[in-house]
Amino acid sequence: SCSAGEAQTVVIGLAADSGCGKSTFMRRLTSVFGGAAEPPKGGNPDSNTLISDTTTVICLDDYHSLDRTGRKKEGVTALDPRANDFDLMFDQVKALKDGIAVEKPIYNHVSGLLDPPELIKPPKILVIEGLHPMYDSRVRDLLDFSIYLDISNEVKFAWKIQRDMAERGHSLESIKASIEARKPDFDAFIDPQKQYADAVIEVLPTQLIPGDNEGKVLRVRLIMKEGVKYFNPVYLFDEGSTISWIPCGRKLTCSYPGIKFFYGPDTYFGNEVSVLEMDGQFDRLDELIYVESHLSNISTKFYGEVTQQLLKHTDFPGSNNGTGLFQTIVGLKIRDLYEQLIASKSGTPLAATKA
């Protein structure tokens, strides 16, 4: 039977500003779980939900309590907690975690209105992605794992230009203005959530080219909290030591400005963390196998799985740099965490995955 209480929905929170790579990350995550996620069949074509065999991704914009007109009238942005219904978010995430289906509202991004709700059944893995997955402490306590995508202003700007100017015909000035207008609420309500994240992917301009802030070559840091159950941070060469590594040489082709890795312990908002950093980009993605073979605790099921995942999706943005690499690794860590959590609940011992 499928009665409430027996359900084993694992809940993952993914926080980031909009346009910061959440959907790309979700595509990498569901690929690791073995199937692409798609919009619900036969439902509202403007649904924000994605469903695969294992995973349901819901977009927290669906918990907007104020629609576009309401926000205009009240003078609040979508980032403002007053525009969002955290009571309903908590009730519904809790119900799903307890194995109970819910009628979730739909925020229609085209019309800016709230559409009639859609039925969401409890999945194996529920991902809640959006602006506020770690804002409300009740919702936060339901998360089995949380991730924050921390895109620096310079890089955010470069990505917005690429998308909004090239694809949506906005002007440079209007893009600048919209980023500036969002910033106070972003700083007040979105950014502080990173202190609660189990893993943070920080995306910064490269340090390999002095003075560069074009946002093309990236320095990406994976910040992993220590002491999180079922999550053992990845390490390079020697756990706990501090290492700087330039892998360019006989085994790896690097053109200017090269590739640089860093690994070491640090503190982040008062928590002990391990940091793995990659600056630069791969010339030849198949050579990533050389880097992969030097990483431990990456939760792969076979040798070369990280490289295989990246090669499968070379068309996704960031596949040749640390964003793609670390998103893929976090996906594998989540699969591992999921398998350990399920095994612990069912009491079945699980064969350890390969380091």
Q: Which residues bind ligand ADP (CB under 6 A)?
A: 16, 18-24, 159, 162-163, 317-318, 323
Binding pattern for the stretch 33-62 against ligand G6P, x by CB under 6 A and - elsewhere: ----------------------------x-
Tell me how crowded residue 81 is: count the other CB atoms within 10 A of its CB: 16
CA distance 310 to 319: 6
Binding mask 67-96 for ligand G6P (x = CB under 6 A): -x--x------x------------------
**117: partner contacted, choices ligand G6P, ligand ADP, none (Cβ within 5-8 A by kind):** none
**How many whole angstroms separate alpha carbon 16 and alpha carbon 190?**
7
In the complex, the smallest distance separating the C-beta of residue 77 from ligand G6P, rounded to whole angstroms, is 6
Single out the residue of 16, 29, 93, 131 in contact with ligand G6P (rule: CB under 6 A).
131
DSSP H/E element including 220: strand 218-225
Cβ-based neighbour number of residue 222 at 10 Å:
25
Amino acid at site 102: V
Is residue 112 involved in binding ligand G6P (CB under 6 A)? yes
Distances 10 to 94, 151, 336 between C-alpha atoms, Å:
11, 26, 12
Partner that binds at residue 331, options ligand ADP, ligand G6P, none, CB closer than 5 to 8 Å by kind: none
Which of the listed partners (ligand G6P, ligand ADP, none) does 78 bind, with a CB threshold of 5 to 8 Å by partner kind? ligand G6P
Contact partners, residue 86, CB within 8 Å, separation at least 6: 63, 132, 135, 136, 138, 139
Chosen from ligand G6P, ligand ADP, none, partner binding at 68 (C-beta under 5 to 8 Å by type): ligand G6P
**CA distance linking residue 316 with residue 126, whole number of Å:** 23
Quickly tell me which residue has 């690794």 as its tokens: 329
Cα gap 69→47, rounded to integer Å: 20
* Min CB(291)–ligand ADP separation in Å: 17
Nearest distance from C-beta of residue 270 to ligand ADP, angstroms: 28
Cβ proximity to ligand ADP, 161 vs 343, nearer residue:
161
In whole angstroms, give the CA distance from residue 9 to residue 298. 23
CA end-to-end span of the chain = 36
Signed CA dihedral, 298, 302, 308, 313: sign only: negative
Tokens of 281: 């980009």
Number of residues that bind ligand G6P (CB under 6 A): 7
Smallest separation, CB 61 to ligand G6P (Å): 4
Q: Are 143 and 13 in contact (CB under 8 A)?
A: yes
Q: Which is nearer to ligand ADP, 187 or 214 (CB)?
A: 214
Cβ atoms 70, 79 nearer than 8 A: no
Cβ distance to ligand G6P smaller for residue 22 or 260: 22
Closer residue to ligand ADP (CB): 130 or 258: 130
Q: Among ligand G6P, ligand ADP, none, what binds residue 112 when CB lies within 5 to 8 Å by partner kind?
A: ligand G6P
What's the min distance (Å) between Cβ of 130 and ligand G6P? 7
The separation between CA 86 and the C-alpha centre of its own chain, rounded to angstroms, equals: 21
13 vs 247 by CB, closer to ligand G6P: 13
Say which entry of ligand ADP, ligand G6P, none residue 61 contacts (CB below 5 to 8 A, set by partner kind): ligand G6P
Angle at 65 between CA 199 and CA 15, to 5 degrees: 10
Give the footprint of ligand G6P on this chain (CB under 6 A).
Answer: 18, 61, 68, 71, 78, 112, 131
